[in-house]
Every structure is written in C-alpha cells, then in structure tokens.
Amino acid sequence: MPDACDAERREQSRSAPRHTSLATSALLLLALVASVAAADGLEEILVTATRRPEPALQVPLSIGQVGPDAITLVGSTHHAQLLNRVAGVMIQQGSGQESLTAIRSPVLTGAGSCGAFLFLENGVPVRPVGFCNVNVLYEVNTEQARAIEVLRGPGSALYGSNAMHGTVNVLQPSPLERPPLGISLDGGPSNYWRVKVAGRHEGDDWNLGVAGLYANDGGWRAESGYHQGKFNAALTGRASDVPMRFDLAATTLDQQTAGFITGKNAYESLKLSESNPTPGAYRDASAVRLTGLIEPALPGGAQLELRPFLRTSRTEFLQHFLLGQPIERNGQESGGLLASAAWGDVEHWSLITGIDLELGYSTLVEDQENPTTGGTPIANAIRPAGRHYDYDVHSRVVSAYAQGERRFLDRWRIVAGLRGEYVTYAYDNRMLDGNTDENGVPCGYTGCLYSRPADRTDHFHDWAPKLALMFDVTPRLVAYVNASQGFRPPEMTELYRLQRGQQVADLKPEQLDSLELGLKGAWRDASFAVALFDMDKSGVILREANGYNVANGRTSHKGVEYELRWRMLPSLELDVAGTYARHRYEFSRQVDGGESIKAGNDIDTAPRDVHRLGLAWRPSPPFEFEAEWLVVGDYWLDAANLHRYAGHELLNLRGMWRFAPRWSVAARLDNALDRRYADRADYGFGTYRYFPGRPRALFAEIAWEM
C-alpha cells in the first residue's frame, strides 16, 4: 500500500497545478505598492470588528468585505460566489443551496463543523448557541445585501461562542439605501429564473424599506432543482427622539438534493456529473428573524445600543448519505438582547462594554420509515426502522465583555479585551433511554447504533481574552500584532445524538489560540493587507473508532493571507486575494469510519493554496466588466493522507451595461473555459466521492430602477 500510495502521489504531483507562484507574485506586488507613497486615500468602513463603523486601516485584525458594487455585478445564485472573493475563505457548494465553510481553516464537516464559525445578520447571530446549521447562509439574503464582512480568526472579545475560525456578518441596507422602486429578472440554463424586487417609503418620522426575491432552479443535475424565497424589511425612525431600527427577515427553501457521484475522477465525466445517485432526497427549510436596534442617548457622550431579537426556524431533510436514509426534523425558537455601551474621545481612548443574553428552545426528531438495506447484515441490523432520536433542549446564554483602546507615544495603540460566557443546556429525552429501538427491543448483542442519553443539564463557561498592539508606520501604513482566543461549547447534537454504547458525552468547549502579525496600507489608487497567522486548537471534538464522541483532539493552522486592490488606470482595477496555509493534525487516533489520524498529517479537505485574481474594466460609466480567476490547490481527501484531489482553476466573466437612466442588462458566464472539476471532493467508505462542479453556464439579467 505505501508503494502504491507514493506512486499515486508522485503521479498527481506531476499533474496537479502548483500555485505558489501566484502567491509569491501577489506578495511582490504588495511590496511594490507599499514602497510607493501617494496622498489622501479612501478606505473601506467596517462595522463587524467593533460593532460600529470603523476605518479598515484602524482595525488590528484581518477583515475582508464584499461591497454593494460587487454584490450587484456578481448577481450570485449561491453565496459562495460572493464569499470566495475574500482572502482566507473557501465555501464549497453542495447540492442546490447547500454549502460547507472554510475560513482560515480546512473545510469542516460533521456535527460541530458549523460551530467553528459565527454567522450574523446586522450584527445578530442567525442561530442560537449550540444549534447551528452548516448550511445556514441559505437562510440569509446575501443577494440583496448592502455588504458582507468576514472577520478571519477569533480577532475580538466582542463576539463569543462560535467566533473561532471566522465571523461572517451580512449587512442589510437601511430603507434609504433601497431604491424608491426596483425590479429585475434573470434567467439561465436548466430552467433557472429569478425575480428580485425592492422599494422604499419615506415618511415624516419613519422610513420603510423592503426587498425580496423568488428563485426557481430546475437543477443541472438530475432531480436537483429548488424553489427559494427571501424577504427583508427594515423600518427606521425616532420615538421620543431615540433612533430606532427594526428588521424582519424571512426565507423558505424547497429543494431536491443530489448526492455524491463515486469513482476516481468521476467528475471528469459529464454524464456522471449530471446524474443523481440519490433521487428522492430533499431539504425543506424556513426561517424568520425579527431584530431591533435602539440607541438611546447617555450622559457624558456615551453611546448605548440595544439589539433585541426573536428567531424561529424549521428544517426537514432526508439523510441520503446514511444507510436507511432516516429523515431529520429540527426546529428552534429563540430570543434575547445584545446590549453595549461605548465611550471615548476618538483621539486618545475608547471603551466598549456589553452584555449578551439568549434563551432558546430547540428540538430534533430522527425517524426511519423502512428497514435498512444496502449494507452488511450487521450494519443493517443495528439501524432499525422507527424513531431514532426525539429530544428538546432549553438553552440559556449569559455573556459579558469589555474591550478598550488607548493611544500612546503618538503612533502606538494598544487594544485589550476580555469576554466571559456561561452556557446552560437542559436536555429532555422524549423516548426510551439507551440504544434500543423505539419500543425497547435490542438490536442483537451489539445494541442499536443510535444511543439516547437520559435527561440531564450541562453547563459550560469560558473566557475569550484579546490583546493587540498597533504602530502607525506612516499615516497610511500600519503594522499590528494580535493575540486572541476563540471558543465554542459542544453542539447539542454532539452531546445528545450519541451512538452505540455511549450514555454520556463528557465534552468540554473547544478553544483556539491565535497569534497574528499584520501590515496594512491604503493610498489613493491602492490598498493592501497581509497577515501571518499561527493558530492552535485544543479540545477538538471528534467521533473515535468505537463511535464515542470525545473532546481531546488537537490541530494547528499556520499561513499567510494577502489582499491587494490597485487602480492601475482610471478604467482598470486589479483585485488580488488569497492564502497559503498549512492545517495539520497534532494528535494520532483511530476514528469512526476506520480512518487513522497521524500527528503531522494535513487535515483532509485543506488545500494549502486558495487564490483569486480579479480584473475590472470600466471603459465608460455605462459599462462594467470583470474577469475572475479562481485557484483551489490540491488537497488530501482522507485523514491518513492516502488519496488526493488535484485542485482546479476556474475563469468567470461578468459584464453590465446601463443602457438607459433606469435600465441595465447584465451577463455572467460561470466556468467560462468549461473545466471539469469538483466543488467538493472526498474519500469515504472505500471510494472517491465528489460533488461535481457545474459546466459552463450563462446567466442574463435585466433590471429597472426608479
């Protein structure tokens, strides 16, 4: 086996694209730009890092933004098309609107994979603590957002659970940022069409803005279409001279889901790529969120923000990837308050303190209609028909934090912060305890696969410190060092959705320690950022060989990220972003599924190279064009580092023509070179598995705006 593996590795090393030259070239460009001084530049304004508008140059951490112009030009049919513009980010598309996330990390899978990232809308978490959803971004209207900000690494004490590898904040427009009235219609192959509408009403004291879309996709793979609707409304005004804003967000998804195609390099076959080995798989989901922002005045010039919120969601899907194909139904109702106060004189010091409160009620039911077939007799026998799990969890979260900044010695600034968080889960098993079937009948001498712990209450508490130092090299060039820690409590499914003989999962929160060195500069025609990071994650939760959930894994994450925007000519702009990183296991263990983790191995699905090069051309005000080159390097498909995906490179072309004062047309050619590639590659159950990438696809849009 080692000889065969080495031969395969050598063969793929010759054929796999090597992209470190792109990273080197980009870094050389950064050095060139940094050596050229210009005057009086403009820079992006960010809110995620401090919960308030802040110039990007003044924030001692790595944060990227997708702005309104890019959102309009891209006209995304999937949120990955927007987020993959940001350095250090790789969103892998699944079937339909599904996805897996990597932010300064490998692509994470499994019960706690979404717990490593915090997803926000207007600064409020989209899901309650402990009840995340790996596909959660399909619940957010990224297509009509004002901006999307991505904070890479822990970075801040202002955010708690799940803000480990990264934080994504989708910012929705205020009413006055919506058009008086606008409508667009776009279409593409496989019976894809979408209508988007937006509008506003201006009153004497209150303004209302609304936006919504409905998309129909017939699916380019067999039986893989979807219908999706999204709606957002924002109301702003004053009551007793207190500024207020209220946002409503709602979404629904009705999706047919396509599964993996199998066999080495199966994605190279168009016939196989268009097939669906799991006909009948589906996902039905809905979510509603109501959030507020109330800003009463405080004495002494302090700023107070109160963000109340209510959320609900429901999801039902067929687990086509499991033997027996059980159906999962889950839901949650949650609410709370984010309260913060800020003081400062801008020039010398600032302080922000806050309290976050959250109550949640979450439910999960898994049942299987028919007896299991398709596996070995033993595998079939331990997966009985009927209910496998049926439980609810009452959760409570209390957090307090403070973060201050002080300027000293003219050009130095220090930022220090600390967050404490306390989480409680009260779990109620609504079935028989243990690993029998739902009627209490054992599954042979080994017991059933599904194990249900007895009712219990679990408590978790953790601290997230932060310390950063910044130095103004020049008024437009800053260097910083940032040390911070992130954490996440175990997900409810990791604690209560057990297997085999495990009756209690004694899990602790995962912790991630991060050290980052960065350099940022901004001038009239160029801006850049480069960051070196070294992160160590402990208490990693995994399912070991006997099927028990344990929390004693350890991983390391080291790399460099870069971003460069350079207006080379008045009509030509270069936008480069990417990362070179190494994500490794720092422990050895046999894990569930027969895989063997060895310390020092690369984590599976962790390409070292991920790069983007964009070239925008605006020959005159009515016209805008963009060419985008995306590079994903080769990566291992399994923890043992025995099987590999060769990586891919894609070219996307986009153009827009504003042919009349209120009219525009746009065209978008995805995968312009018609490359055969895999959106996601994996090796499991003894075979190569792929979500194939879509062949060349042309989309067109016409829009009218008052």
3-state secondary structure 463-527: EEEEEEEEEEEECCEEEEEEEEEEEECCCHHHHHCEECCCCCCCCCCEEEEEEEEEEEEECCCEE
Nearest alpha-carbon partner for 130 in 582, 448, 459? 459
List the domain range (segments joined by +) for residue 516: 2-705
Sign of the torsion angle spanned by Cα atoms 32, 37, 38, 44: positive
Beta-strand runs (E) in 60-219? 62-66, 89-93, 99-103, 117-121, 124-125, 147-152, 166-171, 181-188, 192-202, 206-217
CA separation for the pair 444, 595 (Å, rounded): 26
Nearest alpha-carbon partner for 495 in 409, 425, 553? 425
The pLDDT of 389-399, averaged and rounded, is: 98
Question: Predicted confidence band at 409 (pLDDT cuts at 50, 70, 90)?
Answer: very high
Query: 37-44 contacts: CB < 8 A, separation 24 or more?
Result: 37/474, 37/476, 37/523, 38/523, 38/524, 38/525, 38/526, 39/523, 39/524, 40/524, 41/476, 41/522, 41/523, 41/524, 41/525, 41/526, 41/527, 42/522, 42/524, 43/522, 43/527, 44/527
Give CA separation, 419 vs 108, 461, 544, 570, in Å.
Answer: 25, 11, 32, 45
Neighbour count for residue 546 (Cβ, 10 Å): 13
Question: Predicted confidence band at 696 (pLDDT cuts at 50, 70, 90)?
Answer: very high
pLDDT reading at 445 higher than 90: no
Do 650 and 679 form a contact (C-beta atoms < 8 A)?
A: no
The pLDDT of 386-395, averaged and rounded, is: 97
pLDDT reading at 698 higher than 60: yes
Token pair listed for 385: 């028909």
For residue 662, report the phi and psi dihedrals to the nearest 5 degrees: -115, 5
CA separation for the pair 353, 486 (Å, rounded): 18
What's residue 346's pLDDT? Answer: 65
Sort 240 into a burial class: Cβ within 10 Å, 0-12 / 13-18 / 19+.
exposed
What's residue 165's pLDDT? Answer: 95
pTM of the model: 0.92
Number of domains comprising the chain? 1
Do 551 and 580 form a contact (C-beta atoms < 8 A)?
A: no
The pLDDT of 67-71, averaged and rounded, is: 96
For residue 374, report the phi and psi dihedrals to the nearest 5 degrees: 100, -15
The pLDDT of 583-604, averaged and rounded, is: 91
pLDDT reading at 45 higher than 80: no
Nearest alpha-carbon partner for 394 in 427, 422, 357? 427
Residue 13 neighbours by CB under 8 Å, 6+ apart: none
Do 228 and 245 form a contact (C-beta atoms < 8 A)?
A: no
Residue 278, SS3 per DSSP: coil
Nearest alpha-carbon partner for 72 in 177, 168, 167, 159? 177
> Of the given ranges (64-68, 452-456, 587-591), which has the lowest mean pLDDT?
587-591
Summarize pLDDT for 183-213 with one digit per residue, the tens. 999 999 999 999 999 999 999 999 999 999 9
Question: Predicted confidence band at 524 (pLDDT cuts at 50, 70, 90)?
Answer: confident
CATH number at residue 381: 2.40.170.20
Nearest alpha-carbon partner for 139 in 105, 109, 114, 108? 114
Neighbour count for residue 453 (Cβ, 10 Å): 18
